[in-house]
Amino acid sequence: MARQCLFCANQAKTKEHLFADSILQILAPPLRPITAVFGNSSPVEIRGDIEIRCVCRGCNGGWMSDLETKVKPLLSAMIHDISITLSLDDQSAVALWSAKTAMVLQATINKHGKRFYTREECERLRSHSVIPSRSMIWLGRFSSTGLFSSGTNLWLNNNLGGETCDGQVATFAADHLIFQVLTIRIRNDDGKPMRTICREGPWDGSLLGIYPVNQVVTWPPHLSFNERVPLLFSALRDRWKIGTDIG
């Protein structure tokens, strides 16, 4: 029996690249494996050009194709290490594409288990271009090249030891472009602003926040990530820690 499309009620009869063909074509070969870690699971490596049957033909050739076409010039500039100014509309489009990519990564790794992003959240992203609430998205620069990512589940506890919220963070590198998607889900959410819990680091100088959208930004940031300390690419995923100072 065919699986249901990740973003609508139709059957998932077509395969989707984690990164669309249009994006893969502008990346420098060879493509590095993508490594994903969710919860306490062992790291899983997948090919950079992996495809998974998770979307229907209408989504794949419709709104997803339109979104890829819209963001390709923006992504291409950053992937090729070209400085670019991102308007508010540009940031909204790249943020939507980033959230969609995080959802597809989750479907790629967790084919049969419980997924963090709900069907309602995936469908609202498709139908109304709504990124899940309590999400934050950043862009950064990588000094090397390649295509890889790291993802993990998060949770925060109250002072009594009871779990009060969980979350997911997915961090990607596509040649010189880095993007990170964080979504937190709070039990009995009262709608108050969220104060994130983050390890200390030079994040203000190395990351540009593009969601929620606040102001026009210019990529790249002042500092770049690399494969050496102190700005290791892997440190991005690990910058989130357990805490209680939220909302």
From the CA atom positions of the chain, what is the Rg in Å? 17
Task: Answer whether residue 25 shows pLDDT above 70.
Answer: yes
Task: Tell me which amino acid residue 145 is.
Answer: T
Pair 94, 210: CB distance under 8 Å: yes
Determine phi and psi for 103, rounding to 5 degrees: -65, -40
41 in any annotated domain:
yes
Is residue 246 a part of any domain in this protein? no
pLDDT in tens, 93-122: 999 999 998 888 777 665 555 778 889 999
pLDDT of residue 104: 84
Residue-number span of the structural domain to which 76 is assigned: 14-237
Question: Is it the case that residue 159 has pLDDT exceeding 70?
Answer: no
Band of the pLDDT at 3, cuts 50, 70, 90? confident
Q: Is 77 contained in some domain? A: yes
Q: Let me know if residue 19 belongs to a domain.
A: yes
Res. 245: pLDDT tops 70: no
Residue 53 lies in a domain: yes
Q: How confident is the model at residue 226 (pLDDT cuts 50, 70, 90)?
A: confident
Percentage of the chain beyond pLDDT 90 is 37
Residue 109 in any domain: the answer is yes
Q: Tell whether 8 is covered by a domain.
A: no
* pLDDT bucket at 246, cuts 50 / 70 / 90: very low
At 123, the pLDDT band (50, 70, 90 cuts) reads very high
Global pTM value? 0.84
Asked if residue 101 belongs to a domain, the reply is yes
Burial (CB < 10 A; 0-12, 13-18, 19+), residue 242, is exposed
pLDDT tens per residue, range 38-60: 545 555 665 555 667 788 989 98
pLDDT tier at 180 (50, 70, 90 boundaries)?
very high
Number of structural domains found in the chain: 1
Cα 92–chain centre separation: 14
Q: Which sign, positive or negative, has the C-alpha torsion 201, 202, 208, 209? A: positive
